[in-house]
Amino acid sequence: MILSVISFLFIILICVIVHEFGHYLTALWCGVKVHEFSFGMGPVLWQRQGRKNKWSVRAFPVGGFVRLAGMGEENEGESLLPGESFQEKSAWKRLIVLAAGAFNNILLVVVLATVLLMSRGVMDLSVSEVGALMPGFPAAEAGLRRGDVIERVGGVGVRDWEEMTRAIRSQAAAREKLELTVRRGSRQLTLTMGTKAEKAGEPPLIGIQPAIRKLPLNRALRGSLAWTFRMSLAMLQGLKEMLVHPARVDVSGPVGIAAMAGQAASAGFFSLLSFLAVISLNLGIINLLPFPALDGGHILFVLVEMITGRNMSLELEGKIHFIGFMILFALIVIVTWQDVLKLF
């Protein structure tokens, strides 16, 4: 329980600060006055007036915000010079400020994935090299070793992990024992072994895992960009499925995310970083959706202004975003309640 809470706070802290610093830094770069940078929502627990703006920590660690001048959120006594308002900036500058939070979240994903590929590595499925042996399975009992390269399964030559797996499964269905031709250094060996399923009804295994390769920076960066793109498409597909068939999609709120964060932390620091990358990507993608109160909703209003040449009144836009916020808040409450019910 304690590990889940600490892991959840760690992930939310990193994701929120990275996101809000995107808005904060680009706002300063564009000459927009920043009134406050806050981690958390609700009542203020701590605040300090800095040289440029106020810094604060609030009671509920489920988000954060950067309060910009000219967005209808001025407090009494806050000064504003001509040209410092967000609304006075060009549409392009406003788009940059609004999109920077989600961009930072996605950039964090690329950085984390690159670090993981360089330090932890990735399964190499382009070869049939044994990376690890599963205890209690036929491969370990037959004398197969880490680093062995499987060249033939029965009379079938194999070049990569997929071909080897397919050959093992097809031959296991027809015979009790498999004959593997293995290259170990400069020697070629023949080993005979059976197969074993982890559970009834599952595919037969000999009990080996692929080799892990740590990638150099250039390959790790390419791999992380490709992974981030594929995951983004998968998340968008999941959002589409949630809208079309909501009953089929299991959505987790803060309680569910905290439980998964605890599980990731229990598996090790690298697993926690992987989970952080997934949550950061989710935050970035969701914030770009064109829904009121989200960054994507604000971006939509700016795009409409650019196309039509007409500004919507701040009062009306504020009301629309407030309605969107209340809808999102209600959804969070519902999902959180469902998470709590799953605990019992």
Write out the catalytic residue numbers: 20
Which of 198, 203, 202, 207 lies closest to 180 in space, CA to CA? 207
Side-chain half-sphere exposure of 122, counting CA atoms within 13 A: 19
Asked if 41 and 329 count as a contact pair (C-beta separation under 8 A), the reply is: no
CA distance 46 to 59: 9
Which residue is listed with tokens 């605990």? 343
CA pair distance 84, 34, nearest whole angstrom: 9
**DSSP element (H, E) containing 178:** strand 178-184
According to DSSP, residue 216 is labeled P
Helix axes of 91-119 and 2-29: crossing angle, nearest 10 degrees: 140
d(CA 243, CA 291): 14
* Bridge partners for 189 per DSSP: 182
